[in-house]
Amino acid sequence: MSTTEQVLAAAERIRALGESAPRPGRDPVNQPMINNWTEAIGDTNPLYSDPEFAMRSRFGGSVAPPAMAQVWSMNGLHGTRADDDPLGLMTAALDDAGYTSVVATNSNQTYHRHLRLGEEVTASSRLEDVVGPKQTALGEGWFFTTRTLWRVGDEVVAEMVFRLLKFRPPSAEPPEIPASGPSGRIVDASGYAGGVLRPVISRDTAFYWEGAKLGELRIQRWGTTLRHPPGPMDPGGDLAATPDYAVSPGTGTVFSFVVHHHPKVPGKRLPFVVALVELDEGVRVLGELIDVDPAAVRIGLPVKAVFLKVDDDLTLPAWEVA
């Protein structure tokens, strides 16, 4: 059986199972979770926080935001999927076929009514379709779609159509890195960074900060894989592996950025720009972009590394326009 036939056969088996058994939420609809959710989202609608206001509304009492539908059926930090959960079953089938990477592509939710405090919500799902293999920018993969229904008793109160892409990433080519050498010039930080919050330096990151003192932008390397920020473990899971580092030439382009206007930052003149830079090697590194008009910063702007020497113990990697 070919891989395509294997995936299609698994999809047909999972689709034939139909809708999964209703999975009860861990808690009934309750005010503390509503308070936490609205605070995190920034929803200040008094309908969800003021019982007196809610009592005077057309609902005649407190209700939950409709967009919280999925919250009530979440498994929690240590939860596990049910054996008949189609999302878990199809994910496992594609993992077995070698499509081990995942990205969500669509999530469309429909809300039929507001939920009231104390209502018990259940969720059930079914597999709707599986399409592939498709060639995407991420690699060859399969799109699959599930539909989830949330119910109170037998009444459907919300539903979601959720689509994932499970893909097989192309083999990574080892990045080409020129011979080691300084990545950029070292300048006095007094004009850029007054009182700074000093980084917590560990065994995993000491090489990075030692390199900065020398004007070297050091990137952690596990075999042929570059990683930043540095981490204590091989991204591929090899417990016996040990890292070294590569010295980047320090050239790249702005991948994203923010212009900081407020609040005040001790030792900084406002506004200033913080840029996430994609190096030519493909790794992204965060730092301040100095000596630039914030209005002139754009995605794709070529930049190069520069190092701000705060004192003999600390030098901060930063960016300047190339």
- 3-state SS assignment for residue 108: strand
The burial of 165, by beta-carbon neighbours within 10 Å (0-12 exposed, 13-18 middle, 19 or more buried), is given as: buried
Judged against a pLDDT cut of 60, whether residue 313 lies above it is answered with yes
| Mean pLDDT calculated for residue range 142-157 | 97
Judged against a pLDDT cut of 80, whether residue 182 lies above it is answered with no
Q: Which of the four pLDDT bands, split at 50, 70 and 90, describes residue 177?
A: low
Q: For residues 37 and 192, which has the higher predicted lDDT (pLDDT)? A: 37
Q: Which residues contact 282 (CB under 8 A, 6 or more apart)?
A: 175, 226
pTM of the model: 0.58
- 3-state SS assignment for residue 177: coil
Q: Which of the four pLDDT bands, split at 50, 70 and 90, describes residue 244?
A: very high
Average of per-residue pLDDT values in the chain: 91
> How many residues are recorded in the chain?
322
**Residue 123: closest CA among 131, 115, 133:** 115
Joined together, the tokens standing for residue 196 give 């700074």
Q: Which residues contact 215 (CB under 8 A, 6 or more apart)?
A: 182, 183, 184, 185, 186, 307, 315
What are the respective helix, strand and coil percentages of the chain, to the nearest 5? 20, 35, 40
- The domains found in the chain, sorted by start residue, are 3-168 (3.10.129.10), 185-321 (2.40.50.840)
Judged against a pLDDT cut of 70, whether residue 191 lies above it is answered with no
**Per-residue pLDDT tens over the stretch 48-99:** 999 999 999 999 999 999 999 999 999 888 888 889 999 999 999 999 999 9
Judged against a pLDDT cut of 90, whether residue 29 lies above it is answered with yes
| Mean pLDDT calculated for residue range 97-122 | 95
Amino acid identity for residue 294 in this structure: P
**Residue 117: closest CA among 77, 68, 44, 182:** 68
Judged against a pLDDT cut of 70, whether residue 175 lies above it is answered with no
Bridge-based pairing state of the strands 302-311 and 185-188: parallel
**Per-residue pLDDT tens over the stretch 272-285:** 999 999 999 999 99
Structural contact between residues 256 and 299, judged by C-beta atoms closer than 8 angstroms: yes
Distance in angstroms (rounded) separating the CA atoms of residues 315 and 209? 7
Residue appearing with tokens 């965060």:
286
Calculate ∠ Cα 120-123-127, nearest 5°: 170
